[in-house]
Structure 1
Amino acid sequence: MSTLSPQTATLHGHSLSYLDSGDGSAVLFVHGLLGSHRNWAHLIDRLDDTHRVVVPDLFGHGASAKPMGDYSLGAHAATLRDLLDRLGIDRVTLVGHSLGGGISLEFCYLFPERVRRLILVGSGGLGREVSPLLRSATLPGAELVLSVVASNWVRGRAESVGRVLSKAGWRPGSDLTALWQGYASLGDADSRRAFLATTRAVVDPGGQSVSARALLPEIAKIPLLVVWGTRDRMIPPWHATAAQAAVPGCRVELFEGSGHFPHLDEPDRFAEVVRDFITETEVSPG
């Protein structure tokens, strides 16, 4: 796990937290809903020997600001573009997980000249289906329910139960651990407001409300790798076939037995897949 300290950039009057390590061609990691740079930090040491690795906390997440305003895919994509400008980075390999995949797809559509290649991990934006857990956040009254279930009292009781189960030999998987960390970040009103605004920008009671399928042929010139866990219960793995069908030459890697966070389940394999994809899609000068 990387021990880097986050840096801060002020964009449009708000602070954006990020990690930046290594030299070489840049790789920009974009986390999902309720995530942060912590979802990717364990990969930095596996890649920054040959690449410059940039890992931000999106606005509304992690240590970044949680302002009132626009939490749409386009707004997040524009923020990432502004961060790259601030860091003097012209083009990147984009790696987007879940919501971050949807943001990455939007980035490719808006700023294709800034993208060398695209890696989608359990990505949003490729189909209507999504977990009922996320759909419930779009229902009336979700604000009140979330303020109760994310309260210190409820979280404290859940942690106590977890400690008892751990003593009995239970070990939570990567999905549950990552989701719990995200859930635990909703203890304050600003974080809950940003979470609900972000969720409602891409999900409605029927499922995902934003689709990138129509955009895929338009970004087909960008090399595309899709990674999915075969036991993903947040977004079904067959969504990977949508990208494969729409983009000739799209590479798909299925992580057998992994859930929504294959990069946490098998970090060494994931880093190797990323390295291999970057190498095989490198264009020689001239």
Structure 2
Amino acid sequence: MALEARTLTLHGQEIRLREYLPSTRDTTGEPLVLLHGISGSGQTWIPLLEHFERTGFGRHVLVPDLPGHGDSGSPRADYGLGAMASVVRDILALTGNHHATIAGHSLGGGIAMQFAYQFPEMCARLVLVGSAGLGPQVTAVLRATALPGAKATLAAAVNPVTVAIARGIAAAGRGLGGKLAPETRELTRHLSSLSDAGRRRAFLFIARSLIDLRGQRASAVDKLYLAEQVPTLMIWGAHDPLIPVEHGRKTAELLPGSRLTVFENAKHFPHVADPARFGAELERFLDETEPARLTLEEVVEILVRASEAANEVENRAKAVKKVPEKLSPGPHLRRA
């Protein structure tokens, strides 16, 4: 596979970047950026990249390990959505790209939407895969990170010793003919990454900044109107236990021009469960849509129109309240 890996130095910190380079000499269209989810890494996209190589996918693909994840550095830093979106912008700049389709899984979907909000002129399309940030519901495991003592509990549950024990049990199971499903292996890989103290710190920072005991606090729903001109594809697993597919369905209603594809036999990792179908859906979407070319001036115009419309609705509501109610004749009123 034409897959290269290198390390970028970004603001003094190391960022691991995988790049898929088409086998054909000429690439087509703007590059595709693939963003992983919380506690994951760019490795989650390897099955899709292998599919691209088999089918001759003609686009340049950038697959970073986000800060605090994979082989990138884990500094004591800001891991919020805005900071992560800025990292994606800087990676594009360092690789000589100014316009890209941004695809994100889970947390990566939230970062993709934040990127489109912060840097609309750089966002050609959005692909949201089991995306965070589209509704409050989320698994109780992630809500529990808001509890006191979560840091110590996580360190006791996931550390080099417990991970080694789990791997030994898994190896014994394979020796007896057992086999984990692709999505289960991927989830296990995500969890195992938390045995590293730096990855664990980043995980807790991100989870607590976005989620409390009631669910996801961060939401892009009120800003979706800004993405109406950006072609958007959503892909969800019908049996996603972490972020329910209903979030995708509701978002599709709010974005009439968007596309939603539900994988009936997938959970939270549809790109791992069926990379061939995922790749086909993605390629079809790229082929059938024109990339957005928004300017900052156009975004400002959209914001102004939305603000004026909201003010008009508010003023009408106030005017209705000021109209005095007419008293109807009753027993307490006597005619002169």
With structure 1 as the length reference, what TM-score do the two structures score? 0.94
Q: Residue in 2 aligned with 1:30?
A: 35
State the distance in 2 between where 1:161 and 1:253 align.
36
Q: Which moved more, 1:222-231 or 1:165-174?
A: 165-174
Q: Structure 2 vs 1, CA of residues 111 and 179 (structure 1 numbering), >3 Å: closer, same or farther?
A: same
Alignment partner for residue 161 of structure 2, among 153, 157, 160? 153
Q: Residue in 2 aligned with 1:245?
A: 253
**Deviation for aligned residue 1:154:** 1.6
Q: Residue in 2 aligned with 1:57?
A: 65
Q: Residue in 1 aligned with 2:221?
A: 213
1:42-191 equivalences under 5 Å are: 42-47=47-52, 49-191=57-199
State the distance in 1 between where 2:85 and 2:37 align.
13
**Deviation for aligned residue 1:184:** 1.4
State the distance in 2 between where 1:47 and 1:184 align.
27
Unaligned runs of 5+ in 2: 22-26, 294-336
Q: Residue in 1 aligned with 2:285?
A: 277
Q: Structure 2 vs 1, CA of residues 87 and 147 (structure 1 numbering), >3 Å: closer, same or farther?
A: same
SS of residue paired to 1:226: strand
Q: Deviations over 1:142-171 (max 9, x none)?
A: 111111111222222222332333344432
SS of residue paired to 1:233: coil
State the distance in 1 between where 2:15 and 2:240 align.
30
- Would you say the 8 A contact 2:123–2:292 is kept in 1? no
Q: Residue in 2 aligned with 1:268?
A: 276
SS of residue paired to 1:186: helix
SS of residue paired to 1:6: strand
SS of residue paired to 2:236: strand
Q: Structure 2 vs 1, CA of residues 139 and 64 (structure 1 numbering), >3 Å: closer, same or farther?
A: same
Q: Residue in 2 aligned with 1:8?
A: 7
- Would you say the 8 A contact 1:77–1:104 is kept in 2? yes
**Deviation for aligned residue 1:185:** 1.4
SS of residue paired to 2:125: strand
Q: Residue in 2 aligned with 1:40?
A: 45
**Deviation for aligned residue 1:283:** 6.1
Q: Which moved more, 1:160-169 or 1:54-63?
A: 160-169
- Would you say the 8 A contact 2:48–2:272 is kept in 1? no
Q: Which moved more, 1:160-169 or 1:28-37?
A: 160-169
SS of residue paired to 2:164: helix
Residue identity in the other structure for 2:166 = A
Residue identity in the other structure for 2:33 = L
Unaligned runs of 5+ in 1: none
Larger gyration radius, structure 1 or structure 2: 2
State the distance in 2 between where 1:165 and 1:134 align.
28
Q: Deviations over 1:81-136 (max 9, x none)?
A: 01101111111111110000000011111111111111100000010001111111
- Would you say the 8 A contact 2:124–2:291 is kept in 1? no
- Would you say the 8 A contact 2:38–2:203 is kept in 1? yes
Q: Deviations over 1:50-80 (max 9, x none)?
A: 1000000000000001111111101000010
SS of residue paired to 2:91: helix
1:235 correspondence with 2:243: yes
Residue identity in the other structure for 2:265 = G
State the distance in 2 between where 1:252 and 1:58 align.
26
**Deviation for aligned residue 1:3:** 7.1
SS of residue paired to 1:211: coil
Residue identity in the other structure for 1:124 = A
Residue correspondences, number: 284
Identity %: 37
**Deviation for aligned residue 1:247:** 0.8
